[in-house]
Amino acid sequence: MKHLLKISDLTTDEFEGLLKLAQKLKAEIKAGVEHHLLKGKSLGMIFSKSSTRTRVSFEVGMYQLGGKSLFLSSSDIQLGRGETVYDTAKVLSRYLDGIMIRTFLQSDVEDLAKYGSIPVINGLTDDHHPCQALADLFAIYEHKGKLKGLKLAYVGDGNNVAHSLMEACAKAGVDFAVASPKGYSCREDIVEGAIQQAKKTGCKIVVTEDPVEAVSGADAIYTDTWVSMGQESEKQERIKVFMPYQVNKKLYSHANDGAIFLHCLPAYRGYEMTEDIIDAPFSVVFDEAENRLHVQKAVMATLMG
C-alpha cells in the first residue's frame, strides 16, 4: 500500500488492516495511551475545497501521531494556477513525508501520486471519498459487531460518497443498494467494478431508482446532501428531483429493526433527512464523524510510518 487514492485500489487485506488499526488506535487514545508513530514526520494538506471535518481530523490526527501538519489552501499553492502537477509533486516530495489533498479532479490526485515520491491520501475528489467510506464502515462495525452479511442502503445522489461506499461494501462483503433519481445515478464503470469485487466477497450490489426497494431489509441507511460544493446553481432543481428520496420515518420503516442511520455531514435537516431521523437514538452520525480521525490516523501510520 503506497497511497490511498480510491477504495478499489486496496486489497481486501489492506482494507481490513486499516479498520483493525483504526480500532486499536481509537482504543489507545481513549485510554490515554500515546502513540507517536509519526514522530518527526510532516504532512502537507492541500485544500482546493474547504472542509470542517477533513481539516480538523487530519490536523489532530497528525498531532496525536506525534507529527506535524501544514495547511495549504488554493491561495497558498500554485497547483493548477500556472505550476504543473508534475512540478508541485516533485517539489513537495523534497519537503514532506506525505500529502493529503482535497480537490475537484481525481486526475490531480492520481498525478500527484504518479509524479511524487511520497504517499498521497485522497481527502475528497468529485469522484471518490475513500477516507469517509472507511469511517462509515468502521462505525457500522462498531454498532453491529460485524460487516459481512449486513446490508447498507444509500438513498440520494450517486456521488463521490456513494462511489466509495459501494467499493468499500464490495471489499467488506456488505450488500449495498443505492437508489438515485434517473440521471443522478452512480458512474457505470464504478458500479461494474464493485459488482466484480462483490462476486469475490459474496455480497450483492443493487442499483435502483426506487428508495423503498433499496431500504427494504437494510441494516443501515445512508444519505448525503443533494447539493454538493460547486452545484449551488442547481439547488432548486435538485430539491425538486430528490425530495421523494428524503429519509424519513416512512422510508425508515422498510428497513430491518434496529437499522442505524448514517450521514457524512454537513447535513441539511428537512431536505435529505428529517430531524426525527438524524436526531433519533439509531442515528450514529457523530460516531461516524469521530471515526474520520481514527481511520485517517490508521491510513497515515500505514503509509508514512
The CA distance from 37 to 110, in Å, is 26
Select which of 128, 292, 294, 296 is catalytic.
292
224 included as an active-site residue: yes
* Angle of the 130-144 helix axis to the 285-304 helix axis, nearest 10: 120
From 64, 132, 246, 296, the catalytic residue: 132
Taking only Cα atoms into account, the Rg of the chain, rounded to an integer number of angstroms, comes to: 19
Catalytic entry in 53, 129, 163, 263? 129
Q: Based on DSSP, count helices (H) and strands (E) in the chain, helices before strands.
A: 12, 9
187 is catalytic: no
Catalytic residue among 102, 163, 238, 263: 102
Select which of 108, 264, 294, 296 is catalytic.
264
Given the residues 131, 224, 238, 263, the one annotated as active site:
224
Residue 129: active-site member? yes
Go through the chain and tell me how many residues it has. Answer: 305
> Which whole-number Å values give the CA distances from 154 to 63, 88, 104, 181, in the listed order?
33, 37, 22, 12
DSSP per position, 32-92: T----TTTT-EEEEEESS--SHHHHHHHHHHHHTT-EEEEEETTT--BTTTB-HHHHHHHH
269 labelled catalytic: no
- Active-site amino acid positions: 102, 129, 132, 224, 264, 292
